[in-house]
Every structure is written in structure tokens, then in C-alpha cells.
A and B are shown apart, each in its own frame.
Chain A
Amino acid sequence: MQVGLFTNFNLIAPFGVRSMANFVYLVPLFPLIGFLINGLLWKKMPKSLGGIIGSLAILASFVVSLGIFFEVRTASFQGPLIVNMFEFIHSGKLLIPFAFQVDALSSLFLLIITGIGFLIHVYSTSYMGHDDGMVKYFAYLNLFVFSMLLLVLGANYLIMFIGWEGVGLCSYLLIGFWFKNRDYTNAAKKAFVMNRIGDLGFLVGMLLILFNYGTLSYQDFFGQLHAGSASASSSCMFNWIAFCLFIGAMGKSAQIPLHTWLPDAMAGPTPVSALIHAATMVTAGIYMIARSNALYDLAPVALSIVAAVGLATALLGATIALYQNDIKKVLAYSTLSQLGFMFLALGVGAYTTGVFHVMTHAFFKALLFLGAGSVIHAMGGEQDIRFMGGLRKKLPVTYITFLIGVLAISGFPFTSGFVSKDEILLAVYEYNKIYFAIAAFVAILTAIYMFRLLMLVFMGGFRGTHDQEHHLHESPAAITIPLVILAILSLAGGWIQLPHLFGGHDYLNQFLAGAKIPAIVHEGPNVATRELTLLVATCVGLLIIFIATRKLFAVSQFEGKYTGFKNVLANKWYIDELYNSVVVNPIAAMSRMMEKFVEKSGIDGIVNGVGKTVKWGGDRLRLLQSGQVGFYIFIMVLGMIILFALSFFWIK
């Protein structure tokens, strides 16, 4: 089903709008308008008005998204709807339209992005209220939502790529939002460059698709994949394409080895960390692979790499999170770990499960970050958990909601995190038992570091300064209301995919089936046993962890430095140091060498040498013009003799 921009308007019946999905371009349009208003009038715009405009733009998008979502859910919705806007690139046979695709997958992501986006905008009106750059901040934030919407709405890989790099730009701008701080702008630069490395992979992947299939449109490409039989040679090609695209996903979703930018990205304002570096942008890689599931199904090698990288990242993130003392860093490594879980799910072929975890993670991780923001706000900017403690009395709403977030991410039974994580674990169990064991171990670590965080921040006595203690207060409603809404979602969000055993209906699987995204359906007599085992194991495990963390991570542990293996973990496995000494510094050194030896002494030396030779020769030749006629005649005669001699030998 295809509609053009202008034919759309014919669809408007005199009495109103017949189809919401045809107006999908409104969804990114509102944030774009918000960006333009705030971006162009930033000088004159009052702060509060800027916040209101920014938030309303996202609210409007959310409303349209809701309409589209419910339309896509109806039985009468036929397949993906392509809305062509205009011809973007046209050269010879190459034709890439600027087009949007509405289907179950994109409409679900629309809801996540605009829904959580709106809550975070509201939150930011208060959180950023004292910042001079607030209007600029909302302009950036709206631009981000616009780019993210392009990313998920595009009907071909190029539009996805536009959004892909667009969110990278906004991430760059927002990480370096407080641009006077050199560390922050370094972090911003690092994020952009590491993403660029991934983007090169994405670009090569796109060109491979274009070269082999002559199209970048999802429908054409996947159509050809479905139609064609996978011969041996093309199977190799599928793997390459899938792998190249996955490199892009590694960059954007911070997977090993391109993960080091994400923890540094915490330099940005906390709501940005919640929106961009937890709930939405970093899940773009998962979206991409879920979108390309038809390709990945034909690329078993690439898919197994996805699973392995996901698992490794999950483990790495969780181990590092254990020994971080910055509240945002703990959450950042936790995000790495959870993203790893999502890729693991995709890698074992459980695409809908991966998407489901994107959703539940968006709820609880946004909640945790916003909660952390509320804590940082109350602490007057302090982020070190060693100097917190006992905040539960002063910040009751933040405490309760944060607790819910911790329970959800730890997989407390029947919270959203429990449902999605158990689905992943079950899928992994059927894929590979060792992977399952590691994943279960990561799940345990997750609970440990989250409880540690909860203990250190909210339990015990206050360890900060008197000033800070005096200053402690619960945040205003603009902050607490989003927290409460997200807490409810974190608790109940798993309902849509509750296992049959507990009376659920797999709503999400059914919905995503509309976008041709296959689900792993767990059947057979063992499944109920496994699910029950997991449930009991989780309960027992969490109880033990809850008791153990109180002893394990007593505050006295912080005196002095970490030693041994703990120190390696606290230093993030020294991966940043490794990259600096293996990649960054050698390139800089090599560049300096090239400038000095190849450029200056080498090429330029030759050119200057030629110049000097000519000048030297000229200086000598000049002496020949002595002005003595006799000398000239002598030279002339000499020349004639030589010519005669030459011609004599020539004839012979």
C-alpha cells in the first residue's frame, strides 16, 4: 500500500480524517517545529515558554502516535503503509525516496519515543529550570526526538541512516551541553567519533545491499530475500551485509568493542542520559536488527556474532557496575549490560523478546535515571554515592519509585523486567546452555549492583556535608509525576507479554507479527516447569542478594582504594587505556611523523629541490651572457662543429 504526499489530502473525507496513519509525517513534524521555534528564537524566548513549547511539541506527536498505534492494531490495517514524501536522491537507476513506513514495529517505537520523551521533557522543565541554556536545551531535545522518529519511521535504510546520524549529532550536542568543561566536550567528541566508526560499517552495509539488490527500501529488499533461495554464495553475502549493519549497531548501542563512549556520555544533563543514553537512542541498534530480521534469519554467522557480542557486553557492563561510585556511571554500565541482553535475545532469534526488553528497559531505566536526577538535584549536584545515604526519609517519592525501578531491573516477580528478562533467559536456554549460565549470572550481578546502589543512596545514615543535609528536599511535581508514571509502567508494563502460565496472552507477539517479526513461542510440557523454576529461583536469589548486599557493600568498604581484581573492575577493565595506547596515540604519532618526514622533508623537499636546482642553474647560466661578442661567436662555432659531427655520425 503506497500513498504520496499529495494524494494524502484526497483521503481527507469532508467530515474528518479517515486514516491517521497517512498523517504519520506529523509525528516528526511537531518536534521539528518545536526545534525551529526554540532554535531560531533562543535569544528572545523566555525560559519557561521554551520548555512549554518543547514539551507540547512532543505531546502533539504522542497523541498522533497513539492514533496511529490504535489504527495499526485494528484488523483492517493492511500490511506496512508507505507514505512517500518526496524524491530524495535520484541518479540514473538509483532512486531513494524520502518515505515513511508505518507498521507494528515503527508504531510501537513511536509510542516509546514520544511517550517517554514527553515525560522527560516535562521533567526537564523543572530540572533544567535554573540553567541559562534552557531554551537551547529544549531545542536540542526536540531535534533529537525528530531524528529518532526519522530513524524508526524511515521506509528505507537511508532514512534510517539520516536519523541514525541525526541522533548522534544531538547526542554530541547534549553530552557537551555544558561546553565550558573540557572533559564534557571530550566525552561528546568521543561519542560522535565512536559512533562514526560504527556508521562506516552501516554505510558499507547499505552499499552492499544497494550493489547486490539495487534498492534500500525495506519492502523491496526483504521481498527479494523472501523470494530468492539462499544459495551458498549469497549466504556469504547475507552474513557480510548483516555483519556490517551490526557494526553500526555496535556503535550506536554501545556494544563491545565500541562501548566506551556510553559511560563518558553521562557528562550530559541527567534527563538526557535518561532519554538518549538509556531509553531511546541506544536501542536504535536493536530496532535495526529487529527491522532486518528477514536478513538476519539468512545470516546465521552474523546472528551468532550478535549473540556473543551481546552476551560479552552484558557480562562486562555488569561486572564494571559492581564497583562504580558515581550514581550515573552505575546506571550507565547497567545500560550497557541490559543492551547486551537485548542483543543476546536478538542473536538467539527471539526478535520480539528483544523489542519487548527495549520497551520494559525504557520504562525502568528512564525511571532510574530520572530518580538519580532527582537525587542529584537534592544533593546539589553531588553524584558520588559514597557521600549519600539515608535519603529515603527526605525523598519519599523518589525513594519508592526508585525502589520499583530497582525491583523491575532485578527481575522481581511480575514486574515488567521479570517478564522480559525471563523470556530472554528461556530463549537463551534453548539456544545454548553455557550462554544461559552466563546470562543467569549476569542477572544475578544486576540484582547485586542495583541493590548496592539502593542501599548506599537511600538506606543507612547520611554521609554528606551538613550543607547538603540541610538542603535535602523532595523534588517538585514536574519531576515526581513522571517518576510515578514510569514506576507504574515499570510495574505493570510486563502485562502485555505475560506468559500463558500466569494467565497472559502474548499481546506483543501478536501485534509485532503484523510487522512480520517472528517470535519464539515456548511450547511443550517443559516450559511451565522452566518458568516456575525461574520464578522460584528469582525469588530465592533476590532474597539472598538483598540480605548479602547489606554486608557485602558496607560503606567501610570504600576506605582506601580497591585492590586486585576489584581494582581492574573499578577501572573498567582498562579498556580506555588500551584504546589510547593502541589506537589513539599511535595515530597521532604516525600523523606527526608523516607531517615531518613525508610532507615537509619528503614531497616538499623534492619540490623545493627542483626549485633550487632551477635557480642554481639559472645563476650559472646567467654567467654565460658575458656581453663579449667574441665569446658568443666562439660558442656559436663550437655548436656548429658539434652539429656537424653529430650529423656525420648520424648518416653513418
Chain B
Amino acid sequence: MILILLIAIPLFAGIFSFGIKGDGAKVLGLISSMLTLVAAAYVSGANYIAPVSFSQPWIPLLGTQFSLMGDGMSSMLCLLTGIVVLVVMITNVSKEVEKPGSFYGLLLLSQAGLMGVFLAYDALVFYVFWELALIPVYFLCSQWGGEKRIAVTFKFFIYTFVGSLMLLAGLIYLSLQTPGLSSYAWADIVRAGASLPPEKQQWLFWLVFIAFAIKMPIFPFHTWQPDTYEQSPTPVTIILSALMVKMGMYAVLRWLVPVLPFGVAYWADTVVVLSVIGIVYASCIAIVQTDIKRLIAYSSIAHMGLMAAAAFTHSQVGTHGIMVQMFNHGINITGMWVMVSMIEQRYGTRDMTKLGGMATAAPQMAIALLIIAFANIALPLTNGFIGEFMLFNGIFRADSAGHITIMVVAGLGIILGAVYTLNMVQKTAWGEEVKMNSGKDLSTNEYLGLAIIISIIIFLGVYPKPLLDLTSGIAGVITAGH
């Protein structure tokens, strides 16, 4: 039942929020996200003993059941979702948005969708939530976005819609292979998919994978991302980059690697090479960006590329690393966006060539930026390092012949990452002081939100054991076949 709460709390709070005018929506959002986080923490805690699951008949005609599974990976992502949405709510307290009722309502609906995606143990349920999470984002982006919001939303929509359709086709095809011709249960899908002949798996792979590849995104399916991040309001950017991107990564591990093992093995080298190209490519482009939002968007593509590469190398440590990194990347990039939104609010621009001297004007902000920036480039004793080390380790252990070369090329990302991240720090925090338009150093709610982020950065950087233990079991299960 607790799993239902994870979806129901934000769902009902979201629906309810549409009817509220004024600041009530903010308060409702805060309360809802706090309750959700408590539930997510409970599920995660329970996982140290045994996974939590839930099942209920749904549409018997289609052979689908409303079944949810809160194992290590799912509950970890639910926890991340809970934390991130709470931080969004906290840091947004001091900001004004138009039509707050609808804004927060859509945010909460999206959160409900995300929870569903991470928990779904039935392919159709998974697909429904996948769409439910996306639809509010279209509205959020097209209503509250920047100047070019309509064109950008359209592009984002085309990308994800094409992916979703192919995914649906793939899932229906898989369900037709199950005994009784119509089961969507995860176990049945896995059995059906894995027993398909390799040739079928090879083309089916792309049907399922494209949607995930777009979501992550993997080079060259990524061009929706920088535009969408740039044009979306910051809370939406956070939801997109910290959480929705993880939908793709999570789905690969849950709905692709175990389901189509031969297809995955056949295309592994291709995807790994694409991912590694993406790391270097995105890092290089990040170096020449002047808009902080675009810089971080490309940085995120590079980080996701490393995870994607590790996902197709079938090593336990690599897969385990992905889970750790999904969580930590979500935390760090949330911190990044919070910083960006504060900078934009205070200076009225995101153009780095017009910024500078934040260390003089707002030292607390500068310190927070510095810590988050160094977590972003995986400095040891920050949370970013643990996952990255495990991911490199996983890629290194890959079966393919050029695994060392691939790792070294991927490793260029840590050098280029230092270049663009430190560029950003230099151009915003250091240098002669540029006067702020409005505002001062951190306000109380911003301080609180960043304190949550930074505490997690340091704690998991020094003592990653809780996160590692939570996800070690499922990492073993996913890679058991190999």
C-alpha cells in the first residue's frame, strides 16, 4: 500500500492544486512533497530488509495488472524524486510564478507519473505512467517557458512522441509473445523477450531502445535537450534533467537489458561507441557555450553518456555504478540548476561573459556553486566520484576488444569536464564584481534547499555505503545473466 501512496499523494495533491488560487498552491506543494519524501524514505528503508511490492487487477481484458515493485533501484529513484521535488518546492518559495495553482499542479502530476514509471512492474502500467510524466511537462514548457518556448516544445514533443510510439509498438509485440498472448507482467515480458531468436531481438531492440535513447539522451538523439532546458522554467528543467533523464536510464536497465539480452549484446558496441562519442562531443561543445544553462545541458549529456556506455558493458560494478550515479547526478544537477536560477534572478542574465565577482557580492552563493561544481567534475569525497569510478571500472571490464581505448576516450570527459566547469566558476564567481540587479546572498529558503543538496554531496562522497548497499542486490540481479 505504501507504494500506492508514492503515486497517490502527488497525484491527488496535483489535481487539488488546480483549484487553488494564490500562495496556497506553494504550501500544498511543500506539504505533498514532504509527505512523498517520507513515504519514499520508508520504502527505501524497508528495502534493506526486503523489497516492497503491490499488485491489483486492472484491465483483465488486456491482461494487464496494476503491479508495482519497490526494489533497490526503484526505491532509490523514488527517493531521488522525493528529494528533488522537495528541493524544487523549497527553493521556489521565494519566487513568483503566474497561475501558481496550475503550475504546481502540473509539477506534482509529473512527479506522480515519475513515481509510477520507477515503480511499474507491468509493461502497460509502465507505458501509461511514462506518458503521464511527460504530458504535464509539455504544458509546463509551452506555458511558462522562455521566448522560443512553442518551437522548442514542438521539437521536444516530436522527439518524445516518436520514441513513445515505437516503445508502445515494441511492448505490444512483446506481450503478444507471452504465453496466453497477452500478459504485460515484467516477469512474463522478460521470459518472452529473452526466448526470442537473436535475429528478432536485434530489430526489436531499436523499437524499444529509441524512446530510452531520446530520453537519456544518447548522441545523436540529444538535440532537443539543450533547447528544452534553456527554454523551460527552472523547476521544469530540474524535473527534466534530474529525473526524466533517469527514466531513460532506468528503463534500459529494467525493460531492455533483461528483456532482450541478445539484442543488447548485438548492439552493445554500437551504443557504447555512440555514448563515448557523445561524451567527448558534448564536452567539447560545452566548452564554447556562454549561456550557463546550455553549458550544463551539454555537461549532462556527457555525464549520461558515461552511464549509457556502462549500461552496455554488462559488468556488475558498472551497473552498480549507474545506480549510484543516477542518484548522485540527479542531486548535483539539481544543485546546478538552483544556482543558475538564482544567478538569473539576481543578475538578469545567464550569459557568462556578463557575469563575475559573485565571490565578492554573494560569498555564500559562490561557496555553494564551488562545491556543486566540484561535485559535477567528480572530485573525490564528493558524491560524483564514487559513481564515476565504478562506471570507469565497469567500462574497463567490458568484454569487447577495445575496452581500454574506450575507457580512455571516455576518460577525456574528466579533463574536458574540468575545463568547462572551471570556466564557468571563473566567469561567474571570480573576477571583478558585477553589480546584482536585485536580491542579496542566499535567502533562508534557498539556503535550506542548497544545504540539503550539499549535505548529500558530502555525505555520500565520504560514506557511500548506504546508497551502495541499497542498490547492490538489484545490480547483481540485472547482470546475473552475463
Chain B residue, CB-CB nearest to A164: B380
- What residues on B are CB-neighbors of A172 within 8 Å? 422
- Residues 349-365 of chain A: 1 if any B CB is under 8 Å from the residue's CB, otherwise 0? 00000000000000000
Q: Is A264 engaged at the interface, CB distance under 8 Å to the other chain? A: no
Smallest beta-carbon distance B381→chain A, Å: 6
Q: Which of B285, B408, B429 contacts A204 (CB 8 A)?
A: B408
Cβ contact within 8 Å between A599 and B223: yes
Q: Is B178 engaged at the interface, CB distance under 8 Å to the other chain? A: no
Cβ contact within 8 Å between A91 and B472: yes
CA distance A162 to B374 in the complex (A): 13
- What residues on A are CB-neighbors of B224 within 8 Å? 607
Cβ contact within 8 Å between A610 and B158: yes
Chain B residue, CB-CB nearest to A172: B422
Cβ contact within 8 Å between A185 and B288: no
CA distance A587 to B463 in the complex (A): 37
Q: How large is the interface on B (under 10, 10 to 19, 20 to 34, 35 or more residues)?
A: 35 or more
B-binding segment of A191-199, A511-519, A549-557, A566-574: A191-199
Q: Is A592 engaged at the interface, CB distance under 8 Å to the other chain? A: yes
Smallest beta-carbon distance B151→chain A, Å: 9
- What residues on B are CB-neighbors of A204 within 8 Å? 404, 407-408, 411
Q: Is B450 engaged at the interface, CB distance under 8 Å to the other chain? A: no
Chain B residue, CB-CB nearest to A199: B414
A-binding segment of B9-17, B127-135, B183-191, B390-398: B390-398
- What residues on B are CB-neighbors of A652 within 8 Å? none
Chain A residue, CB-CB nearest to B220: A603
CB contact list, B452-474 vs A, under 8 A = 463-465, 468-469, 472
Q: Which of B154, B155, B360, B469 contacts A180 (CB 8 A)?
A: B360
- Residues 364-383 of chain B: 1 if any A CB is under 8 Å from the residue's CB, otherwise 0? 00000000001000011100
Cβ contact within 8 Å between B408 and A162: no
- What residues on B are CB-neighbors of A90 within 8 Å? 465, 468-469, 472
CA distance A419 to B320 in the complex (A): 52
- Residues 88-100 of chain A: 1 if any B CB is under 8 Å from the residue's CB, otherwise 0? 1111101000000
Cβ contact within 8 Å between B285 and A185: no
- Residues 395-423 of chain B: 1 if any A CB is under 8 Å from the residue's CB, otherwise 0? 01100000010011001101100110011
Q: Is B430 engaged at the interface, CB distance under 8 Å to the other chain? A: yes
Q: Is B359 engaged at the interface, CB distance under 8 Å to the other chain? A: yes
- What residues on A are CB-neighbors of B236 within 8 Å? none
Q: Is A608 engaged at the interface, CB distance under 8 Å to the other chain? A: yes
Chain B residue, CB-CB nearest to A178: B430
Q: Is B386 engaged at the interface, CB distance under 8 Å to the other chain? A: yes
- What residues on A are CB-neighbors of B262 within 8 Å? none
Cβ contact within 8 Å between B431 and A91: no
Q: Is B321 engaged at the interface, CB distance under 8 Å to the other chain? A: yes
Cβ contact within 8 Å between A91 and B321: yes
Cβ contact within 8 Å between B408 and A200: yes
Q: Is A588 engaged at the interface, CB distance under 8 Å to the other chain? A: yes
Q: Which of B281, B360, B389, B426 contacts A185 (CB 8 A)?
A: B426
Q: Is A86 engaged at the interface, CB distance under 8 Å to the other chain? A: yes
Cβ contact within 8 Å between A591 and B317: no
Cβ contact within 8 Å between B422 and A193: yes
CB contact list, B252-295 vs A, under 8 A = 281, 284-285, 287-288
Cβ contact within 8 Å between A89 and B288: no
Smallest beta-carbon distance B217→chain A, Å: 11
- What residues on A are CB-neighbors of B465 within 8 Å? 86-87, 90
Chain A residue, CB-CB nearest to B366: A179
Q: Is B159 engaged at the interface, CB distance under 8 Å to the other chain? A: yes
Q: A182-B431, A603-B223 are in contact. Are A166 and B412 (CB under 8 A)?
A: no
Cβ contact within 8 Å between A607 and B475: no
Chain A residue, CB-CB nearest to B472: A91
Cβ contact within 8 Å between B476 and A92: yes
Smallest beta-carbon distance A459→chain B, Å: 40
- Residues 203-239 of chain A: 1 if any B CB is under 8 Å from the residue's CB, otherwise 0? 1100100110000000000000000000000000000
Q: Is A621 engaged at the interface, CB distance under 8 Å to the other chain? A: no
Q: Is B357 engaged at the interface, CB distance under 8 Å to the other chain? A: yes
Q: A89-B390, A590-B284 are in contact. Are A607 and B396 (CB under 8 A)?
A: no
Cβ contact within 8 Å between A207 and B155: no
CA distance A210 to B411 in the complex (A): 17
- Residues 338-350 of chain A: 1 if any B CB is under 8 Å from the residue's CB, otherwise 0? 0000000000000
Cβ contact within 8 Å between A161 and B380: yes
Q: Is B47 engaged at the interface, CB distance under 8 Å to the other chain? A: no
Q: Is A256 engaged at the interface, CB distance under 8 Å to the other chain? A: no
CA distance A162 to B429 in the complex (A): 25
Chain A residue, CB-CB nearest to B227: A604
Chain B residue, CB-CB nearest to A211: B396
Q: Is B23 engaged at the interface, CB distance under 8 Å to the other chain? A: no
- What residues on A are CB-neighbors of B389 within 8 Å? 89, 158, 203
- Residues 167-200 of chain A: 1 if any B CB is under 8 Å from the residue's CB, otherwise 0? 0010010001001101001100100110011011
Q: Is A541 engaged at the interface, CB distance under 8 Å to the other chain? A: no
Cβ contact within 8 Å between B285 and A591: yes
Smallest beta-carbon distance B368→chain A, Å: 13
Q: Is A577 engaged at the interface, CB distance under 8 Å to the other chain? A: no
Q: Is A594 engaged at the interface, CB distance under 8 Å to the other chain? A: yes
Cβ contact within 8 Å between B287 and A89: no
CB contact list, B334-372 vs A, under 8 A = 357, 359-360
CA distance A162 to B468 in the complex (A): 19
Smallest beta-carbon distance A311→chain B, Å: 27
Cβ contact within 8 Å between B464 and A594: no
Q: A90-B468, A591-B284, A591-B287 are in contact. Are A207 and B396 (CB under 8 A)?
A: yes
Q: Is A46 engaged at the interface, CB distance under 8 Å to the other chain? A: no
- What residues on B are CB-neighbors of A382 within 8 Å? none
Cβ contact within 8 Å between A611 and B158: yes
Chain B residue, CB-CB nearest to A163: B380
Cβ contact within 8 Å between B159 and A162: no
Cβ contact within 8 Å between A185 and B317: no
Q: Is A430 engaged at the interface, CB distance under 8 Å to the other chain? A: no
CA distance A226 to B241 in the complex (A): 49
CA distance A197 to B418 in the complex (A): 10
CA distance A161 to B389 in the complex (A): 11
CA distance A204 to B392 in the complex (A): 9
Chain A residue, CB-CB nearest to B294: A595
Q: Which of A94, A197, A591, A604 contacts B223 (CB 8 A)?
A: A604
CA distance A604 to B414 in the complex (A): 26
CA distance A614 to B161 in the complex (A): 13
Cβ contact within 8 Å between B223 and A211: no
- Residues 231-260 of chain B: 1 if any A CB is under 8 Å from the residue's CB, otherwise 0? 000000000000000000000000000000
Cβ contact within 8 Å between B422 and A92: no
Cβ contact within 8 Å between B317 and A607: no
Cβ contact within 8 Å between B476 and A210: no
Smallest beta-carbon distance A521→chain B, Å: 39
A-B contacts, 27 of them at CB < 8 A, read A90-B468, A91-B321, A91-B472, A92-B320, A92-B472, A92-B476, A94-B317, A94-B390, A161-B380, A166-B379, A169-B374, A176-B430, A180-B432, A185-B431, A189-B423, A192-B418, A193-B418, A193-B419, A196-B415, A200-B412, A203-B414, A204-B407, A211-B396, A211-B397, A591-B287, A595-B288, A603-B220
Knowing that A180-B432, A186-B426, A591-B287 are A-B contacts, what are 20 other residue pairs whose CB atoms are under 8 Å apart, sorted by A's residue number?
A: A90-B468, A92-B320, A92-B475, A94-B317, A162-B380, A165-B379, A176-B430, A182-B430, A185-B426, A185-B430, A189-B426, A192-B418, A197-B415, A211-B396, A603-B222, A603-B223, A607-B155, A607-B223, A607-B224, A611-B155
